[in-house]
Amino acid sequence: MKIVYVNDVVYGYAIEDPSANGGAERYGWLLMRALASAGWSVTVGVRFGLQEGEVQVIDGVRFVGLSRRAHFLLDWYTFLKHECPDWCFYQCADHLWGPMAEIARWLGVRTAWSSMHDLDVQPRKALMRRPNWRLLYEWGLYRSDIIFLQHHGQRDFLPVAWHRRTFLLPGIVPLPAGTIRSQVERNGTVVWVAVIRPPKRPDLLVEIARRLPMIQFVVCGAPSLGFWWAGKEEYLERIMTQLRSLPNIDYRGQVAPEQVLKVIAESSLLLSTSDGEGFPSVFLEAWAAGTPVVSLQIDPDHKIRNGGLGMVTGTVEGAVDALISLMASAERRQDMGVRARQHVEEIHSPVSAVRAFEAAVKGVSYNGQCAIHPSRT
């Protein structure tokens, strides 16, 4: 089977570019690499990282430079025409997915789209560059042969008629080499990792840090510009000033992905203040390192609460209490961290993701019509 994808940041992760950021793109790289390792022919189109026609193969994934024409859809059509894949893959809410899916189907290429945020499956609320063109995006979902979800709760937002095309695709996390640090050996910090933008609620991070002057927080992430901050420049300036000035916040800005993993592995806890996510890749990275998660709102499929992989608090006051309680007990953190590591080993390995991907593919016939398959979500 041959699959194609177009994403410049995926290439950035593949070449270990320290400026690469974005959980969806990192997952895209891990998934493409896993599929290649499993025997798939994988090609990723790159518009700005490679010259037109330039080819580079990394871990079995073939990266090809595209033409950078004025309109992306021309590149997309030419790319599909030249590569002749069985499948094309795309992630996140984007108005371009509508015409992309239609072009693919016209050329006989089957389409797999993957959610990376809970709002991706709610087109009226989806975080998009062109929200007024959401009908194009919704059309792309309607025309997709496969809709991959991060957790079972996302399915409830989709029309019932689409449910038989939905499949659960687990996140992937590389397991750290060597022995995991025990909680006694850790540095006693709480790490917060995210692109700094309104949905991540950096303001709540600042509020929590102010209430806990005895705890040191390490913050990794830079502001995301563009439509996120339209009309919110004063808010951004205030947040950045606070992050840099609070004595118990060690603000490190944009940090290379491999260095982020090191920071997580050295910290005692990971804090999440986001209002909305899908299945955050940073949760998987923390659990792989044996680091429990304290989350205000996000708990996909109730894994944290039911599995004892950290704590879900619901409020700032609850988060403050949880951090105080957990930081006072290395034994309790150790127990959570061991369970977290076991969880990702069992559920979120590259092998598990490929198995789920291939099970979904088998449920789609060659004429592009989805057949009922017992492994669907």
Q: Which phi and psi (to 5°) does residue 353 adopt?
A: -65, -45
Q: What pLDDT score does 67 carry?
A: 87
Between the CA atoms of 360, 365, 369 and 371, what dihedral angle is there, to the nearest 10 degrees?
-60
Domains detected in the chain: 2-172+349-362 (3.40.50.2000), 183-347 (3.40.50.2000)
Q: Which phi and psi (to 5°) does residue 42 adopt?
A: -120, 125
The string of DSSP codes covering 292-306 is -EEESS--GGGHHHH
- pTM for this prediction: 0.84
Give the C-alpha separation, 271 to 190, whole Å.
Answer: 7
Give the C-alpha separation, 332 to 199, whole Å.
Answer: 30
Q: Tokens representing 234?
A: 């004063």
Q: Which residues contact 236 (CB under 8 A, 6 or more apart)?
A: 196, 223, 229
Nearest residue to 105 via CA among 136, 80, 124? 80
Beta bridge partners of 272: 295
pLDDT in tens, the chain (377 residues): 999 999 999 999 999 988 887 888 999 999 999 999 999 999 999 998 899 999 999 999 999 999 877 688 999 999 999 999 999 999 999 999 999 999 999 999 999 999 999 999 998 888 888 888 999 999 999 999 999 999 999 999 999 999 999 999 999 998 877 778 999 999 999 999 998 988 899 999 999 999 999 999 999 998 876 666 666 778 888 999 999 999 999 999 989 888 999 999 999 999 999 988 889 999 999 999 999 999 999 999 999 999 999 999 999 999 999 999 999 999 999 999 999 999 999 999 999 999 999 999 997 755 444 333 333 33
Q: How far apart are the first and last CA of the chain?
A: 23
The string of DSSP codes covering 269-336 is EEEE--S--SS-HHHHHHHHTT--EEESS--GGGHHHHHTSEEE-SSHHHHHHHHHHHHT-HHHHHHH
Q: What pLDDT score does 179 carry?
A: 79
Q: Which phi and psi (to 5°) does residue 53 adopt?
A: 85, -10
* Alpha carbon separation from 62 to 18, 188, 253 (Å, rounded): 21, 42, 31
